[in-house]
Amino acid sequence: MLTQSQKDLVKATVPVLREHGVALTSYFYNRMLTNNPDLKETFNLAHQRSGAQAQALAGAVLAYAENIEDPSVLAPVIELVAHKHVSLNIQAPDYNIVGENLLHSISEVLKVPMEDELIAAWAAAYGQLANVFIETEQKIYQEHEQTQGSWLGWRKFKIAKKVQESSEITSFYLIPSDGGKLPPHQAGQYISVRVTVPELGHKQPRQYSLSDSSRADHLRISVKREDAQGDKIGGWVSNTLHAMQENDEIEVTAPTGNFFLFDSHKTNVLISGGVGLTPMIAMLNHLVSLDMPKPVHFIHACRGSQVHAMKQHLNDLKTQQPNLSLWTAYEHPQSSDVLGQDYHHAGRLNLAELPAEQLPVDADYYLCGPIPFMHEQHKALVARGIKPEQIHSEAFGTGGVHFS
């Protein structure tokens, strides 16, 4: 249990964390991965490379210090990250490694002796937080153990089929190499996949939303190829996947995540940007399997028709389902694209311009896409009178407050 004096010491570091938090967390990751190179197969090295991981952790450490008197306010974030950790098969002993390197990093960066009471205070604070994560994650692991067809850790899967969905996105149909069963999953959840990246010489994991509703014989992910452009290095895992062939093997963890379709008996509005449409397709397919009892509004934004994934699938569903409406924004439509047929708005998606029937006030809203896109749509929905508790979101990529 943290003493009040320890809480005060942690709170006293808030100004330092605001100014030097990223420097501290960058040092921490470098120290930990140097001392524990095996963890390079657990952590997203692309986020290390871009600095996004250090920024995310710095925000998390700051948020924890600011709320040390009542960390329960961070419960939604802890639940979110706990699912991410389970998906990466992070176990209780891993927290000891993280804690040791974090405390030494605080000592070395802030030039405070390890024997100092500040380090003892942070050790107690970290121990409290680690216990919360371990307990939360243990419950999720137990759910997997009790779910028929589910599994713990990494399991080998074969790529049974590859289907090109757009100029950038390919769907991968995955079946267990052991021929065993699959668990049911919620529409909107994700899996982690792990492949050996030739450029790195070791494995790397990534998390991908499942792009179909629950199926008994396969899982499906739809992955955007991230090409190198200028100073931007190509995506290690996505490009490795795109280069793989049918019957090649990858490693997969069981479906998890707390972003999923909550109520199929309400009107649902699904809003996506780019490859963020993947969990929305899963939700839509699930609602179709229920014969779509309530209206569904599918709103999608992308750069243009060449990168508009699963367009034909959506159009086919539209002809079959009178309760489905589609609204698409092309930032750069081509001359061959037909307004009102291929797309409905030229330019960036602007929810303020949508007709009222597309954004009913009593609906549930689901958002997925890049972080700026998410913020923009959330703000626009609230301005249209949608209550924040009606809006559910899944951030693609690193952003916000994360602890890993």
Which of the residues are catalytic?
Answer: 95, 137
Q: What CA–CA distance (Å, rounded) separates 11 from 315?
A: 55
Q: What CA–CA distance (Å, rounded) separates 330 from 347?
A: 6
Q: What CA–CA distance (Å, rounded) separates 258 from 332?
A: 34
Q: What CA–CA distance (Å, rounded) separates 293 from 128?
A: 45
The structure tokens 């599918």 sit at: 298
Residue 98 makes CB contacts below 8 A (sequence gap 6+) with 32, 130
Encoded tokens for 173:
């149909």
Nearest to 54 by CA among 30, 87, 74, 34: 30
Burial (Cβ within 10 Å: 0-12, 13-18, ≥19) of residue 153: exposed
Residue 301 bridge partners (DSSP) = 273, 329
**Helix, strand, or coil (residue 396):** coil
Is residue 218 a contact partner of residue 210, using CB atoms and an 8 Å limit? no
Residue 80 makes CB contacts below 8 A (sequence gap 6+) with 258
Q: What CA–CA distance (Å, rounded) separates 201 from 329?
A: 40
Is residue 187 a contact partner of residue 209, using CB atoms and an 8 Å limit? no
φ/ψ (deg, to 5) at 156: -80, 135
Is residue 60 a contact partner of residue 402, using CB atoms and an 8 Å limit? yes
**From the centroid of its chain, how far is CA 240?**
19
Strand ranges across the sheet with 364-369: 345-346, 324-330, 296-302, 268-273, 364-369, 391-395
